[in-house]
Amino acid sequence: MAKTPLTERGAVRLRDELKRLKSEDRPRIIKAIAEARAHGDLSENAEYHAAREQQSFVEGRIQELESKLSNAEIIDISRINAGGKVVFGSTVVLADEESGNELTYQIVGEDEADIKASRVSVNSPVARALIGKQQGDVVVVKTPTGERQFEIIEVRYE
């Protein structure tokens, strides 16, 4: 199976969620199931069915996180010397050729992407257009509203 790139920060976030699910959520749900069982008839016990459904969700998320972490290639961007090229994990400052507005994006893994925090997935159209380019290059990005041109102002590895 191919390794999935993940930044160090993303890996820490996934590990923290996994730890919380195992140490807090799982025991709380087990306790809720035990309490609901004590109420008697399980066939008409809404509390029991809700707790079991929640348990199913948590166990599924635990398996998903364990799988993602075991198949992750954790990349420490601060140790990469890409010679000024845009690579996974780099932060890129762009100037929109049309409006002149500056945009800053960090290229991250699928599970870390958050456009509100200026983190775009390595598989997004913006990231695919930027990978391999360097400061001063002009890139064309296909967006739902049409093609847009950006000039790469700066590439940082932080």
Q: How far apart are CA 158 and CA 156, in angstroms?
A: 6
State which fold the 77-156 domain adopts: Chitinase A; domain 3 (3.10.50)
pLDDT at 78: 80
State the architecture of 4-75 in CATH terms: Orthogonal Bundle (1.10)
In terms of phi and psi (left: phi > 0; alpha: psi -120 to 50; beta: otherwise), the region of 132 is left
Print pLDDT tens along the chain (158 aa).
Answer: 578 889 998 999 999 999 999 999 999 999 999 888 887 777 777 888 889 999 999 999 999 999 999 999 998 888 877 788 999 999 999 998 888 889 999 999 988 999 899 999 999 999 999 999 999 999 998 888 888 899 999 999 88
pTM comes to: 0.79
Per-residue pLDDT at 93: 94
Q: Which two tokens stand for residue 15?
A: 């590990």
Predicted confidence at residue 4, as pLDDT, reads: 86
Indicate the domain borders of the chain: 4-75, 77-156
Burial of 40 (0-12, 13-18, 19+ CB in 10 A): exposed
